[in-house]
Amino acid sequence: MSDETTHHYKMITYEKVDGVAWITLNSPERYNALVKEMREELREALEDSSKDDEVRAVVIRGAGKAFSAGGDLKAMAEWTPLKAVRELKEMGTAFVIERIIREMPKPVIAAVHGYALGGGFELAMSCDIIIASDDAVFGSPEINVGLMPGSGGTQMLPRHVGEKKAKELIFTGDRITAKELERMGAVNKVVRTGELMDAVDDFLGKIKDKSPVVLAAAKEAINASLELPLNAGIRYEMQVFSQLFSTEDQKEGTRAFLEKRKPRWSGR
């Protein structure tokens, strides 16, 4: 990969710069509503990022005044139950995107400003790290239009804020600030408006300095902790930990520590 690569899409922008894939939801006049075409382009960009060994991390952000105000209600107006099932399975919804993000062997960061509502909230929750500006507002307002979260929200939100708060937010459709979510541990960091990209760059600087193969292993083990009973999770962690001793990066990391120098990671 060259120092900078740009892929051309209609609804997103997708650039790779110095080992980071920057994916920008780019429909600001619609507050980056997750229409079908945008979801499909987002899925394609994420799949490409996942397969590119030179991409060390991925950042998802929104153009204009919002991260994403959610799903395409206009398209959903005529859905039947059968069509809803078909669309949710086939057209690359946030749930499919969430699985790609979760299984991707590299960190994915949501850089959130403005509205992150409905599907936009679900997309942010799917990411490994959420860094937000203090003007960011999150919410699951589907109840107000006769719906409920349908792209993973009822499953992810309780894991982020606990059962009781998740039910409150989904039952009422109330919005919640980035600062409130930060206090709950559901947002990693909140910064002043205008400083969001600086904060993202600072975080990227920290993780780009780590072994990509170890980052991938750590992400895999943490994800497993949310699905396995504790004893099974500990056994799984032991397996992943042990496998790291077959990697070049583990040997290099140990040598560099003993030789009091900075490690030179190969990603193998």
Residue ranges of domains in the chain:
4-207, 212-258
Report the CATH fold assignment for 4-207: 2-enoyl-CoA Hydratase; Chain A, domain 1 (3.90.226)
Q: Among this protein's residues, is 182 annotated catalytic?
A: no
Cα distances (angstroms) measured from residue 63 to each of 18, 26, 202: 21, 5, 20
Catalytic residue among 40, 41, 98, 142: 142
Higher pLDDT, 5 or 197: 197
Q: pLDDT category, 1, cuts 50, 70, 90?
A: very low
Please write the tens of the pLDDT for every residue from 185-239: 999 999 999 999 999 999 999 999 999 999 999 999 999 999 999 999 999 999 9
Please write the tens of the pLDDT for every residue from 61-102: 999 999 999 876 666 666 677 766 666 666 544 468 888 999
Is pLDDT at 174 greater than 90 in this prediction? Answer: yes
Is pLDDT at 122 greater than 70 in this prediction? Answer: yes
> In CATH, what class is 212-258?
mainly alpha
Please write the tens of the pLDDT for every residue from 15-59: 999 999 999 999 999 999 998 899 999 999 999 999 999 999 999
Q: Among this protein's residues, is 168 annotated catalytic?
A: no
Q: pLDDT category, 2, cuts 50, 70, 90?
A: very low
Catalytic residue among 40, 41, 98, 122: 122
Q: Over the chain, what is the mean pLDDT? A: 91
